[in-house]
Structure 1
């Protein structure tokens, strides 16, 4: 995916090279939230990339956001995932939040994220068990045990799901300010990959918010999630996995070109088996890029297959990234186990998309349902 000249002109390239890249290994090693990188991205307008121009945002679309996520993912997966979840939240906030919040996001001063997955329903984000109930003075009280929240304890706000307050329907969405009384991060995140993205459990115990914190209509949160949030999340997840895949292949190519078999006076790149293995991995990445482009084309033209393509892209991307990561690890051999090659960190980051909701298995089921004319969800 070609870089956007506008983004480069606004300093994105410099932020990646001068702030994100030098910190990436430390963010991973120490499990440290990439505050400096997020702040720098905000300063050059990237937090407001999807915000409407009317509130000072860039008014960009998913193509531009995908360029940003792909580039960041190959450099620092944790920073990329923080921004990916922020963009997914902004799709709701720019439509339903107050103008003050929207302007703060557009100005790069407000980081948001999604708080959907729950302990009681796991990766079935479409079935929250957390509740919303009336509070004092026209307020609302939220109670929930969220299982995975990216930027937990770091975000300025959370797009929070619950059962409806009073209406029918499976879900309502709320804007919950960070630091709200009763909102708690339940332990530090010590993950296998994406180690700096602060994906910790969170709990809400009688968290009081105002009734106007409702994002959209009561009971209509699932429709909002499926129509607005999920397409953004799935497509940007595809771009994330593509970015990690490309970074892995870049490192494999460098290893093959620079590593020599002295007794043969040849590089590994001159070995037919190594070339064959690399070509097969390259083919997987190119097929993923072509599918991502086809997804954008279907969405932008409103073609009937757009929904299916959106459901397919994260599943394909997640499996491609994981399989290419495994292939690069084998191709580079023992050298890939050393941190300095950059393969090991990206190998771990590549596996995250497989198990991130909706999981590959759930998406396969959704795709099958879509192709066979069945509803995505069974009626309760």
Structure 2
């Protein structure tokens, strides 16, 4: 689900000849795991970066860091206050760096297996050379368009898979029922799942040949919204098809129902997605 930090580096290597081959070799050979705080930081970044000799001292709490307990390299941000205004620094640092602590905060409704703990940074040193991007806080930057393009097909493939699992459980339960309305309920559920799959397939196909930028981001996030809506609806309908049996944990639907709710919360959530799409359609600046 959160393999996109590596996917972004692969895209940069293949399409921009970026000098990231050593990192990719470490991922492939040494099996290091990249960790990201991208969704919680997003355009604004978070944390505080203070300039010191040779780099920065960084502090901040990074929530929703999926896979934190097993990660090796943390791809994150901090905000430096500069004369030009708040500036987001993007950098990577080893998870075992002095001042990095993983807090056991992931006590959630669903998606518990992602271990999306909070990573606390306390006066961590980040060398100047580790800073890969400097960008104005709150503004769209090419790096964020790239993340949007490569990350969300991967993330929402997981939610589509959850919907598929719920559908399969419900169909097996429905085969044991004699209610004549069951076939219609199953058909409605399958239609919603088809909508989620079509939107996901479209998102994947588009991202394979697109270039990162506002137009691509618009396409990706429209489809992200469509996948989320239909995947959530599919699982809700699966609960209805299954009936009271779906209320029991033993059916497996209870966990899927909780997990699918996570599809609501990744950026861009629906209100900012609609604003982005509307501004694109009207020819307005996307940073408005």
Asked if TM exceeds 0.5, the reply is yes
RMSD of the TM alignment (CA)?
2.6
Q: Separation in 1 of the partners of 2:90 and 2:276?
A: 23
Residue of structure 2 in register with 1:231 after alignment: 149
> Would the alpha carbon gap of residues 307 and 209 (structure 1) be closer, same or farther in structure 2, given more than 3 Å must change?
closer
Q: Separation in 1 of the partners of 2:81 and 2:20?
A: 20
| 8 Å CA contact 2:166, 2:256 repeated in 1 | yes
Q: Per-residue displacement from partner, 1:259-289 (whole Å, max 9, x unpaired)?
A: 2xxxxxxxx2x53311111111111111222
Q: Separation in 2 of the partners of 1:286 and 1:327?
A: 13
1:343, distance to aligned residue in structure 2 (A): 1.0
Q: Separation in 2 of the partners of 1:180 and 1:314?
A: 35
Q: Name structure 1 gaps, 5 residues minimum.
A: 1-83, 118-122, 260-267
Structure number with the bigger relative contact order (C-alpha 8 A, sep ≥ 6) is: 2
1:184 has 2:94 as partner: no
Q: Separation in 2 of the partners of 1:274 and 1:282?
A: 12
Residue of structure 2 in register with 1:63 after alignment: none
Residues 313-332 of structure 1 aligned to structure 2 (within 5 Å): 313-332=223-242
1:310, distance to aligned residue in structure 2 (A): 0.4
> Would the alpha carbon gap of residues 132 and 377 (structure 1) be closer, same or farther in structure 2, given more than 3 Å must change?
same
| 8 Å CA contact 1:91, 1:228 repeated in 2 | no
> Would the alpha carbon gap of residues 218 and 349 (structure 1) be closer, same or farther in structure 2, given more than 3 Å must change?
same
1:284 has 2:192 as partner: yes
Q: Separation in 1 of the partners of 2:192 and 2:218?
A: 20
Tell me the secondary structure at the aligned position of residue 32 of structure 2: coil
Residue of structure 2 in register with 1:139 after alignment: 55
| 8 Å CA contact 1:142, 1:205 repeated in 2 | yes
> Would the alpha carbon gap of residues 206 and 93 (structure 1) be closer, same or farther in structure 2, given more than 3 Å must change?
farther
Residues 173-322 of structure 1 aligned to structure 2 (within 5 Å): 173-215=90-132, 217-219=133-135, 223-257=141-175, 259=176, 268=177, 270-300=178-208, 302=210, 306-322=216-232
> Would the alpha carbon gap of residues 300 and 370 (structure 1) be closer, same or farther in structure 2, given more than 3 Å must change?
same
Q: Per-residue displacement from partner, 1:278-333 (whole Å, max 9, x unpaired)?
A: 11111111122222233344444549964432011221111212211111112211
Q: Separation in 1 of the partners of 2:216 and 2:126?
A: 37
Tell me the secondary structure at the aligned position of residue 287 of structure 1: helix
Q: Separation in 2 of the partners of 1:319 and 1:108?
A: 38
TM-score normalised over the length of structure 1? 0.66
| 8 Å CA contact 1:237, 1:314 repeated in 2 | no
Q: Separation in 2 of the partners of 1:272 and 1:317?
A: 29
Tell me the secondary structure at the aligned position of residue 121 of structure 2: strand
1:101 has 2:23 as partner: yes
TM-score normalised over the length of structure 2? 0.85
> Would the alpha carbon gap of residues 156 and 338 (structure 1) be closer, same or farther in structure 2, given more than 3 Å must change?
same
Q: Separation in 1 of the partners of 2:60 and 2:279?
A: 30
Q: Separation in 2 of the partners of 1:251 and 1:108?
A: 38
Q: Per-residue displacement from partner, 1:63-122 (whole Å, max 9, x unpaired)?
A: xxxxxxxxxxxxxxxxxxxxx22x2211444446754432111226111121135xxxxx
1:247, distance to aligned residue in structure 2 (A): 0.8
1:178, distance to aligned residue in structure 2 (A): 0.6
How many pairs align? Answer: 277
1:252, distance to aligned residue in structure 2 (A): 0.7
> Would the alpha carbon gap of residues 104 and 302 (structure 1) be closer, same or farther in structure 2, given more than 3 Å must change?
closer
- 2:270 is aligned, of 357, 360, 367, to 360
Q: Name structure 2 gaps, 5 residues minimum.
A: 13-17
> Would the alpha carbon gap of residues 323 and 126 (structure 1) be closer, same or farther in structure 2, given more than 3 Å must change?
same
